[in-house]
Amino acid sequence: MSFTARPSGLDRIDSLTLPAMPSKEFSAQRLDVQAFAEEGGRLSGQRPLSAFERIVAEAEGRGGERLVTWQASGELRNPRHVHPEVWVTLQAEAVLPLTCQRCLAPVDVLVSVDRAFRFVADEAQAAAQDDASEEDLLALSRSFDLFELLEDEVLMDLPLVPRHETCPEPLPVPATDPVEEVESPRPHPFAVLQGLKSAGADPGGKAGGKSDKGRQGGSKG
């Protein structure tokens, strides 16, 4: 007689695909930066402009319902090094209703952020390395506010003088011409004197008829 071996319980367990361990959940407003980088974490979403007080101030209260689209990713560089580098990349995009400095009407300005930040142990280390480093350095935190950083970067990307490429309405003409009229040059004093002399001449070209008559009368006597 022949027997067919049945698979043991262990064999059945080995053949199963075990469920993946759930990744750690992260909060953008209280981000554990070290863990976020170690996990290669990713966060993304949309947030209304009204949630960013300083951006709303720049927009003069307009467009609070508009959305900022953002995403962030963590990375641990040189993981086998004694001190691996902790990096977070932040990207964001929004259309902000600013004020045109030429016509003073609202103008939509596209703002785009794409920055990478290296995190170091503390504020003192960040300050010590800042001058010699070309990287953007920040201090590690277990409750880092990613939205505050996002707002900082959006504000830094705003144009100094927002304006339309072509203003929608003709620019108003000022009531008075700001350009001063060119004053006519004052006549030279000697020219005035010459004009007075010319005005005293008679049509025949003789000056002063009385003096000529006196001279003529004297010759007759």
pLDDT tens-digit map of 35-90: 999 999 999 999 999 999 999 999 999 999 999 999 999 999 987 777 889 999 99
Domain that holds residue 58: 24-156
Structural domains of the chain, count: 1
> Tell me: the pLDDT tens digits for 116-133?
999 999 999 888 888 888
The answer to whether position 68 is within a domain reads: yes
Q: Give me the pLDDT at residue 82, please.
A: 74
HEC sequence for the chain: CCCCCCCCHHHHHHHCCCCCCCCCCCCCCCECHHHHHHCCCEEEEEEEHHHCHHHHHHCCCCCCCCEEEEEEEEEEECCCCCCCEEEEEEEEEEEEEEECCCCCCEEEEEEEEEEEEEEECCHHHHHHHHCCCCCEEEECCCCECHHHHHHHHHHHCCCCCCCCCCCCCCCCCCCCCCCCCCCCCCCCHHHHHHHHHHHCECCCCCECHHHHHHHHHHHHC
The answer to whether position 115 is within a domain reads: yes
The answer to whether position 218 is within a domain reads: no
**Higher per-residue confidence, 10 vs 142:** 142
Question: Can you tell me the mean pLDDT for 93-99?
Answer: 96
> Tell me: the pLDDT tens digits for 168-201?
887 766 666 555 544 555 555 555 555 655 555 5
The answer to whether position 10 is within a domain reads: no
The answer to whether position 166 is within a domain reads: no
The answer to whether position 14 is within a domain reads: no
The answer to whether position 93 is within a domain reads: yes
